[in-house]
Structure 1
Amino acid sequence: MTVKRLTVVLAAVVTLGVAGGAYALQHGPGNGPDQSAGRGPDPVPAAVTAAAVPRPDHVVLVMFENKKYSSINGSSSAPYFNSLAAQGAKFTKSFAITHPSQPNYIALFSGSAQGVTDDSCPRTFTGKENLGHQLIAAGLSFTGYSEAMPSDGYTGCSSGTYRRKHNSWVDFDNVPAASNLRYSKFPTDFTTLPTVSFVTPDMCNDMHDCSVGTGDTWLKAKLDAYAQWAKTHNSLLIVTFDEDSGTSVNQIFTAFVGQHVKVGSYAETINHYTVLRTIEDAYGLTPINNAASATPITDIWQ
């Protein structure tokens, strides 16, 4: 082969490689809104997958309780949930991991239910990896905010309308007490938020003991200001549920709202491990436990 012909061939190979990489970064690994349920995307290198998830300045995740997807989606009792989802990405095939509540909270935070199958308290995990520890070890920050918790750093199982079973971060000995705060400490200056925040309403406002309308009103009053701010400040709000109302389907309502979120309904199948993996990819963290085999959400970003 002549030198001239070799040069042409090499140039073509480089061009194809760059184009392919650019497509993967722009479109993600083929996990789009039209993907059929249960069909996973083709494997892609970890570096490409991570780059396909933007890095928000702040993520706030709020978890509600025990309502199936159809009880929220399109419901006249949940006008704000539906209005919020219309401002971002609504997932029409989002599922919890199991029943009852507690193992779902633990699974979303650590990529595993850690063998927990009930709501018994207390649960203590020694040296188990989790999102809070990962973030802090990477020089980032995590705080969990629990409504009605009687004091910062509280480790008791219950107090009034607070329940530890809905506070997964307190179960892990490598998450400092300083990361376990009352919801009253949630800042009004959103620039002072930690990198990632988890928010747990009390037993009424999370819909466990009260109506869908009660939770809808609470979400609008407490987090709409952050949702609107996030859309212009490189930040993200995730609204989801721990589980459905106890059915074998376990389908839940999940929505992402933020500056880099493309508005629309997305039909790929996701679960708590998917959400955890997406947050980990956003910050370049090594995915843990079942999050390692989950496909991150890459098709909703702009």
Structure 2
Amino acid sequence: MLSLVLASLLPALAHAQTVQTFAPPAACPVCVSGNYTGMSNGSLPVAPVVAGKSYDRFITIWLENTDFASAAASSVFQSIAKQGILLTNYNGVTHPSEPNYVAAMAGDFFGMGDDNNYYLPSNVSSMVDLLEAKNVSWASYQENMPYDGFAGDYAQTNYLNASAGSYTYYKRKHNPHIIFNSVASNPNRALRVRNFNDFAVDVNASALPQHVWITPNLVNDAHDTDVTFVSAWLSYWLEPLLNNTQFNNNRTLIQLTFDENESYTIQNTVYTVLLGGAVPENLRGTNDSTFCEWHANELCRRVAAPESPADSVDTHYSMMSSTQNNWGLGSLGRQDTNKTVAAVWNFQANQTGYTNYVPSAAEIPMLNLTTIFPGAANTGIWTPILAPNVSAVGAGGGSVFYNSSSTNTSLTSYTAQNLTAMNLVNPDTINPNYTYVGFNVDNTSSPAAISASSAQHASAAATSGASAATTSKASAGEKTVATGGVLGALALGLAMLL
């Protein structure tokens, strides 16, 4: 177990040792820039506002791989915390990075314990399904992504040091929406996965959607740098935007968080602040300490003694449950409905009358464990994606969303198989080759026209990939696995469930 943890940790440490000096990638946070590579596709259409109970816009900004104490020592983070609510209880759900991003979109990380490329089947539901069901507009903004809907990694000229050659500023693993084929295969969704030039245009056009995910590039999010570097980026980018009413108004809630901490041997507590005009004035500059408290020369001390109840627990699943609670959404029937790890933000729960569950100390799980969970994204302990709990009730009160035509709701357990030992390809690692190069957001064209045009392109890619498909059978249960093209991602029949 320790060797697996160290193996997954070493690449992150190697990146963190890179010494770089911050320089603004653009003239201002809402300025377009050649350093972002991809030019804007034009602004999104301005969508009608669906009123929320506590806020009308939610923006989450994700940073990388930093212990709570390291961020807390930064004067910039301290200054930002004084403008909002510091969640000293907030936790990632596993290691390394990618499964945390996926978990915050799907309520599960499906056994993922690495940063490899995964392509989750089209009938795997996500927060996108819940938002669209209530007409809540959404978008993801990825710094240095070359074009909208891009599904790979991207290297470009190093804008911090042009003489150093190319640099990989953008990584797919930090872009959760595109990991879901339900987004990547649908042009109307994929083109909402946008870059920072699009972000600048959308803000200036007052077209920023209601649910916004923001991932900075690999130096500005601290992945390849450190707290000093990301503090400089926050001073340049976030702090001015807090005063921009096209980004932040009195009905905006902003979450600044990290995906995980850097120390795999302790609980996965990360520095998270709730900001924006929706934060009540009397709570700004306060701490919401519900899981553990931080003290000088200590890592994390429980608020209560082990035999006493703790308070509610915030994790990345809380981002989902709070969003669901705010707009009265349905749920995914996964960990987003697990009240032990998916508390609604306390200030919001007080406003909406929602009662968080208070677990005992013994019920609070370890959230730093990795590689040991079976699932579709763990080739060594593989299972299909199991059915959601269709009778679950989430914080939004709505029904569980799932594809009733392709989900076997009785498949709630499965004996894990080692696909590597069986010489089989994990179907969830096969690239379906969706691509939108050359496609633009066109507010004068109907969504159906855009969809039809892109569908032809996707169909051609699928045909090309399918020609190389091969099949083999798993000895345990004679489950057919197709490899190559999109057939691999769609095979296994009932195995590819919501």
| TM-score, with length taken from structure 2 | 0.47
Comparing 200-209 and 189-198, the one that deviates more: 189-198
- Does structure 1 residue 178 correspond to structure 2 residue 191? yes
CA drift at 1:225: 3.1
Alpha-carbon distance in structure 2 between the residues aligned to 1:238 and 1:190: 22
- The answer for the alignment partner of 2:278 in structure 1 is 260
Q: Corresponding residue for 1:225?
A: 240
Q: Identify the match of residue 112 of structure 1 among 108, 115, 120.
A: 108
Task: Determine helix, strand or coil for the equivalent of 1:197.
Answer: strand
What percentage of aligned pairs have identical amino acids?
28
Q: 2:130 touches 2:331 (CA, 8 Å); kept in 1?
A: no
Q: What's 1:72 paired with?
A: 71
Asked if the contact 2:67–2:261 (Cα under 8 Å) also holds between the matched residues in 1, the reply is yes
Residue 59 of structure 1 corresponds to 58
Structure with a larger share of its residues in strand: 1
1:82 to partner: Cα distance: 1.6
Q: Cα offset for 1:85? A: 1.2
Instruction: Measure the CA separation in 1 of the matches of 2:228 and 2:324.
Output: 32
Aligned length: 247
CA distance in 2: counterparts of 1:122 and 1:158, whole angstroms: 17
| 1:195 aligned partner, one-letter code | Q
Distance in structure 1 (CA, Å) of the matches to 2:248 and 2:172: 31
1:290 correspondence with 2:289? no
Deviations 1:121-169 (A, max 9, x none): 1433321121122212321111111111111110113432100000000
Runs ≥4 residues deviating over 4 A: none
Superposed, 1:128-167 pairs within 5 Å as: 128-159=124-155, 160-167=168-175
Per the TM alignment, residue 174 of structure 1 is displaced from its structure 2 partner at its CA by 2.2
Counterpart Cα distance in 2 of 1:93 and 1:189: 35
- Give the equivalent residue in structure 1 for 2:121: 125
Separation in 2 of the partners of 1:208 and 1:232? 30
Structure that is richer in helix per residue: 1
Q: Which residue of 202, 211, 216 corresponds with 2:217?
A: 202
Letter of the structure 2 residue corresponding to residue 146 of structure 1: Q
RMSD of equivalent CA atoms: 1.9
1:84 match: secondary structure: helix
More RCO (CA 8 Å, sep 6+): 1
Tell me what 1:5 maps to.
Answer: none
Give, in whole Å, the separation in 1 of the partners of 2:82 and 2:148.
35
CA distance in 2, matches of 1:219, 1:259: 18
Checking the alignment, whether the CA contact within 8 Å between 1:59 and 1:235 is kept in structure 2 is: yes
**Matched letter for residue 77 of structure 2:** F
Provide the rounded CA distance (Å) in 2 between the counterparts of 1:216 and 1:242.
Answer: 16
Q: Distance in 1 between matches of 2:177 and 2:128?
A: 7
Any conservation in 2 of the 1:132–1:143 contact (CA below 8 Å)?
A: no
| TM score, norm. by length of structure 1 | 0.76
SS in structure 2 opposite 1:251? coil
SS in 2 for 1:144: strand
Query: Equivalent residue of 1:239, what SS?
Result: strand
Which digits, 9 at most, give the CA deviation of each residue in 1:96-122, with x for residues without a partner? 100000000000111111232210014
CA 54–89 in structure 1, closer or farther in 2 if over 3 Å, else same = farther
> SS in structure 2 opposite 1:128?
coil
